Amino acid sequence: MVLHIQNAAYYANHAYTVLVALALLIAPGGCASKSPDPVAQTSGHKGPASTTDGSEHGHKAGTHGGLLVSIGSDSYHAEAVFSQGGNLRLYILGRDESIVQEVEEQNLLAFARLPDAVEAIEMKLLPTPQAGDQTGKTSLFTGMLPKELAGKPLEVTIPALRVGNERFRLAFQAKAKEREVAMPAALAPNEESNLFLSPGGKYSLADIKANGSVTASVKFRGIKANHDARPKPGDRLCPISLTLANPSFSWTINGKVYLFCCPPCVEEFVSLAKEKPAELKDPDFFIAK
C-alpha cells in the first residue's frame, strides 16, 4: 500500500514537471520568443558632387570669336576669348551654344602652361556678371594671364567649375591665331543703318539725334581702336569686351553716355538695348574695381 502511494506521488510530480516545461515553451514573452533588436533605418546618402571632364570642342568659333569648349560631354559649353595684353574671358553657355548659362558666382582656379612646359602657372578667373545676370550669379569669368605667357600658345586647365550641384573639369588649348583680340564682327552697311537709325527698346529717337543721326562706322571713321586689357581700378570699361574704354568711342543709349573700345562693341550694345532692354545696365556699372 505504501509502495502504491509513493509511485503515485512520483508520477504526479513527473507530470507536473512536464506540464511546467511545456508551459514555458509556449508562453509569450519567453526567451525562445524574444524578438531581435530592431535594425536602425538609414536614409539614402548622396555622395559628393560628380566631377566630369570637359575637352576641347570641335565646333565653329563662338559668338565672340573665341574657342568653344565642351563641358560634361556637351551638357554645357564655354567660350574662351583671349585679348591682347593677356586678358582671358570665359563665357558660360548652355547645351545649346546660343543660350547664356548663369552659374553661381565663384572664383575659378586655372592653370596655364606652354605646350612643352612641365609645370603650369596658377591664375584666377573672377566672376564678372554680364548685363541681365541675376544677383549672385554670373555667365562670365575674367582674368589676366601671367606676363610670361601672354601672346603665346597655351594649354589651360580649370579643375572645378560648379554648375548647379555638379562640378566639371575643363581644359583647352589656344593656338597663336586664337590669341588675337576677339571682338564682335562689324555689321553690313544696310544692317548697320537699320540698327543705329531706327528706335527700339531703350534706344530712342532722342538717342539717335544725340549721336548725330549717323552710324558708328561714320562717326568713328579714322579713329584707331586700342584694346587695353589691363584697366586700373576706377577706369571705365567697355560694356562688351570689358577692356579699357576709349572716350573717343562714346554713344548715347537710353539718354546716358556709354564708352566703348571699338565700333563693333557699340553695335552689339545697341542691339542689346533694342532687343533685351531689361538687361541694360547703367554706365556706372562698367567701372574697373
Domain of 113, in residue numbers? 51-179
pLDDT at 36: 34
Is position 149 within any domain?
yes
pLDDT in tens, 209-247: 999 999 998 899 878 777 777 788 999 999 988 889 999
- Asked whether the predicted pLDDT for residue 88 surpasses 50, the reply is yes
Task: Point out the least confidently predicted range of 14-23, 170-179, 265-274.
Answer: 14-23
205 and 158 in a single domain? The answer is: no
Cell reading at 113 = 602652361
Q: How confident is the model at residue 104 (pLDDT cuts 50, 70, 90)?
A: very high
Residue 120 lies in a domain: yes
Based on the fold, state whether residues 128 and 172 are members of the same structural domain: yes
CA distance 143 to 130: 15
Q: Which of 179-193, 213-227, 244-258 has the lowest mean pLDDT?
A: 179-193
66 and 98 share a domain? Answer: yes
Determine the pLDDT at residue 208: 97
H or E element that contains 109: strand 108-113
pLDDT for res 65 = 66
Confidence band (pLDDT; 50, 70, 90) for 186? low
In-domain check, residue 27: no
Same domain, yes or no: 172 and 102: yes
Report yes or no on 270 lying in a domain.
yes
Q: Does one domain contain both 77 and 161? A: yes
Average pLDDT over residues 184-199: 80
Banded model confidence at residue 177, pLDDT cuts 50, 70, 90: very low
Q: Residue 152 burial by CB count (10 A; 0-12/13-18/19+): exposed, middle or buried?
A: middle
Extract the C-alpha cell encoding 189. 552697311
Q: What is the pLDDT of residue 281?
A: 93
Does the residue 170 lie in any domain?
yes
Q: Tell me if 32 is assigned to some domain.
A: no
Residues 251 and 216 sit within 8 Å (Cβ to Cβ): yes
Claim to verify: residue 227 and residue 174 sit in the same structural domain: no
Answer yes or no: is 22 within a domain: no
Q: How far apart are CA 171 and CA 167, in angstroms?
A: 14
Final residue before a domain boundary, out of 179, 200, 216: 179
Is residue 206 included in any domain, yes or no?
yes
- With a cut of 50, say whether residue 143 has pLDDT above it: yes
Same-domain check for residues 170 and 67: yes
For residues 40 and 76, the model is more confident at 76
Per the CB < 8 A criterion, the answer to whether 284 and 236 are in contact is no
CATH number for position 85: 2.60.40
Q: Is the pLDDT of residue 279 over 60?
A: yes
The model's pTM: 0.49
Coil, strand, or helix at residue 183?
Answer: coil
What is the average pLDDT value for the chain, to the nearest integer? 77
Judged against a pLDDT cut of 50, whether residue 58 lies above it is answered with no
Q: How does residue 187 score in pLDDT terms, banded at 50, 70 and 90?
A: low
